[in-house]
Amino acid sequence: MMKDTAEFKQSLQNENPGQGLSVQLKALWYDGKGDWQRAHAQVDHLDDRSSAHVHAYLHRKEGDIWNADYWYRRAQQTRPDISLEEEWEQLVVLFL
């Protein structure tokens, strides 16, 4: 199990995500690798608030703000006024 964001970021050099990562962390891992499609596929079919939060971030990153705001509402969150990099890191911390 990963302890912190530094270890999570280090794992991005690996071929595959580590064992035992939550679906939310897997999505963030694929996004960190630059694979938006695979990241989105991790959470696209899920209905829980945590997955909706990651889903919202991914649509914000895509530039689809209307869709992002829909998913932020589903996650009971507000779209943050920070960089995408900061939001990614906050989500990693949240789900670690």
d(CA 73, CA 79): 9
Q: How many CB atoms lie within 10 A of CB 95?
A: 18
The C-alpha atoms of residue 47 and residue 45 are separated, in whole angstroms, by 7
Enter the pTM of the model. Answer: 0.95
Per-residue pLDDT of the chain (96 residues; tens, 9 = 90+): 667 899 999 999 999 998 889 999 999 999 999 999 999 999 999 999 999 999 999 999 999 999 999 999 999 999 999 999 999 999 999 999
Count the neighbouring beta carbons within 10 Å of the beta carbon of residue 94: 13
Predicted local distance difference test score (pLDDT) of residue 36: 98
Residue at token pair 């071929």: 15
Q: For the chain, which residues make up each domain, given as ranges?
A: 5-95
